């Protein structure tokens, strides 16, 4: 029981620590805030608000890795969310299953797509200031210590693409 509480608490503390870091610039591609993320960019960022107020939102995007080695994504922070977690969907015994994932590899010279029905960043405890038509910043952290911040268009529930 104690172990079930430690992981979410550690993630919350790490996520809060990320809020103090990051390069919050607007644009269609991410801006790297430290050296090891050179060659990594993000496109098509969007935050889909929940249909029911108080439920989590989902962030979708594509991470591009133009380097010769894998880039290991190990966290996320969403401006206007108290907590954010990497999640993945899968099928288990004919049922859709969603679970938190601690890290995801972006292959060398490849990309990792976060899209409805698959990978996403779950954004919890969203601020009421996040409204459709606006933007917010999302910061991805990598195992190397590098970060990449990108703008995410805010969409109403049902407008995921």
DSSP code, position 49 = P
Residue 161 placed within a domain: no
Count structural domains, the chain: 1
Residue 135 placed within a domain: yes
Distance between CA atoms of 155 and 41, rounded to whole angstroms? Answer: 22
CB contact set of 136 (below 8 Å; sequence gap of 6+): 47, 78, 79, 80, 130, 151, 152, 154
Residue 14 placed within a domain: yes
Residue 140 placed within a domain: yes
Residue 160 placed within a domain: no
Spatial contact of 121 and 138, defined as CB atoms under 8 Å apart: yes
Dihedral sign of CA atoms 62, 64, 70, 73 in order: negative
Q: How far does Cα 115 stand from its chain's mean position?
A: 11
Structural domain including 105 reads 2-155
Distance between CA atoms of 21 and 77, rounded to whole angstroms? Answer: 10
**Digits of tens for pLDDT over the chain (161 positions)?**
444 433 333 333 333 333 333 333 333 444 434 433 688 999 999 999 999 999 999 999 999 999 999 999 999 999 999 999 999 988 788 888 889 999 999 999 999 999 999 999 999 999 999 999 999 999 999 999 999 999 999 999 987 66
End-to-end CA distance of the chain: 38
Kindly report the CATH number assigned to the domain that includes residue 29.
2.60.40.1890
Residue 91 placed within a domain: yes
Residue 142 placed within a domain: yes
């Amino acid at each position: 029981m104690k172990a079930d509480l430690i992981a979410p608490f550690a993630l919350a503390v790490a996520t809060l620590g990320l809020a103090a870091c990051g390069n919050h610039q607007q644009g269609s591609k991410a801006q790297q805030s430290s050296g090891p993320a050179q060659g990594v960019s993000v496109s098509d960022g969007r935050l889909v608000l929940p249909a029911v107020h108080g439920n989590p939102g989902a962030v979708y995007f594509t991470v591009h890795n133009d380097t010769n080695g894998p880039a290991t994504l190990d966290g996320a922070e969403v401006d206007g969310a108290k907590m954010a977690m990497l999640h993945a969907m899968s099928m288990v015994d004919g049922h859709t299953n969603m679970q938190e994932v601690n890290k995801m590899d972006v292959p060398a010279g490849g990309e990792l797509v976060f899209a409805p029905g698959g990978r996403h960043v779950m954004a919890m405890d969203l601020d009421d200031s996040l409204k459709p038509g606006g933007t917010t910043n999302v910061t991805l952290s990598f195992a190397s210590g590098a970060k990449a911040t990108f703008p995410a268009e805010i969409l109403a529930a049902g407008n995921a693409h």
